Amino acid sequence: MQNMIEINIKYGRNGESLALQLSSECTIEEIKRRVVSQINRVRKTEASLNPEDIAIIFAGKELNDSLQIKHCDLGNNSVIHAVKIKHKSSTKDANASTTLSEAVVNLSFVDEKSDLKIGRKTNDNHLLTSAERKSFFFVYCSCCKNIDSGKLRVRCAKCKEDTLTVDKDPTCWEDVLTAGKINGTCHNGFCDGSVAEFYFKCASKNHPPLESNTSVVVLYLIRYNNREVTCLACADVNDIVVVFPCSHKHVICINCFKIYCLSKLNDRQFIIDSNIGYTLSCAVGCENSLIKETHHFRIMGEEAYKKYQRFAAEECLLQSDGVICPQPNCGAGIFVEFDDDIDPDLCNRVVCSACNYVFCRTCMQGYHIGNCESNEILSLDITSPSFSQTIDSKSANNSKWENELSLKTIKGTTKPCPKCRTPVERDGGCMHMRCTRSGCGFNWCWICQSEWTRNCMADHWFN
């Protein structure tokens, strides 16, 4: 039994559309006949068209008449364009029977400075199945909220219609990602555009058909491992890998890349770059290897990516001399206006707009009058005769060493790094703290809230 798919064919200057149920064995010539029949039926007053008068354009190519749609990389609800031929050519495009996705099957593996031609076959292409060759790119789809295979498409940069045929195939990622690299001819009757604009579409089977224009981001570092390169972390050969943008093109599998990112995220070891943002470099530590497309970090998962976005915003805030509210369970970012008339040793009063917590800009503790105190908590004077009279049974019970409520309170308490003021939570272990914020790494004492010294080791190394 032949597979049936629905194809939407756009034609005419007004963007008329024709939906056809077609067999996978159907040829482009048959589609032309059905389109021409529809056009002639609608436009009775105009001169009739013949199948030879139109061209079928899909993904930057004029499709040959003998080509069957099962070989065109067409899916259900795909859109193709029928355009009136302006000038008949005596020669056929050598690649007219090859779709754009098939033509650039080696794109992911072409070095940016290489002269490797698209038509050249590599010895390891047999490792990929036919289906994999047709879904060679990976994208993040905002509609599916997932990383899926993607389809490369091309349109006219001027009118944004898919009626453009390219003069030549792209040979590297620069051709696809940089505007104006590839030229072509737009067959839209209203347009004289000549510049190709490449874009990607989600190829997931679960992608809603009505959301075909949903914006997707191509993840060009994710590739099929048709070279059988081992992962630098686990040494296994995996089907899908991430290739770092370093000169050595180090390879890491998806799972190890996820672990690498999560580890760096939890330790706040991402790198803040003025041009790229919050990112990572090659896991080996290669120079000039920062990941420019930060959507690759979607691999960490939805919750971790939200945490990544929050940390990125915090780092941006700190880079701009802002502060983060020290109140536990808040952490809102605040831009503080400095007053030159105020003594820097005195308190700068800051009110958090999110939780209304009032704290000191200098010491990051609760609001106070006068100079900042070195101690976080003011103790009662135990030498006072009235001290014992102020203790009731409830207070005594709450002061037990193993009191459950006290343990929960201590666990939820954060203290700012004395150097960069990044909130830090201590969950057991010794009192020696090391700030995990990238670029800081300050060693400090949880008790003293100052630089870690041998005195701290002697007096309160552990609790």
Cα separations in angstroms, 51 against 38, 39, 185 = 11, 11, 21
Beta strands in 133-212 (DSSP E): 137-141, 146-156, 164-166, 184-186, 196-202
**Residue 430 catalytic?**
yes
Cα separations in angstroms, 159 against 195, 324, 399 = 10, 46, 73
Given a contact cutoff of 8 angstroms between Cβ atoms, the answer to whether 272 and 278 are in contact is yes
Give the tokens for residue 408: 């929960």
Query: Which amino acid, one-letter code, is at 213?
Result: N
- Cβ neighbours of residue 394 under 8 Å, at least 6 residues apart? none
Three-state DSSP string of 236-275 = CECCEEEECCCCCCCEEEHHHHHHHHHHHHHCCCCEEECC
Given a contact cutoff of 8 angstroms between Cβ atoms, the answer to whether 24 and 70 are in contact is yes
For residues 377 and 357, what is the distance between their CA atoms, to the nearest angstrom? Answer: 17
Which of 340, 312, 302, 104 minimizes the C-alpha distance to 218? 104
- Catalytic, out of 246, 372, 430, 448: 430
User: 26: phi > 0 → left, psi -120 to 50 → alpha, else beta; which?
Assistant: beta
Map residue 404 onto helix, strand or coil: helix
* Angle separating helix axes 254-266 and 302-319, nearest 10 degrees: 40
Map residue 69 onto helix, strand or coil: helix
CB atoms within 10 A of CB 219: 21
Task: HSE, CB side, 13 Å, CA atoms: give it for residue 274.
Answer: 2
> Which residues form the catalytic set?
430
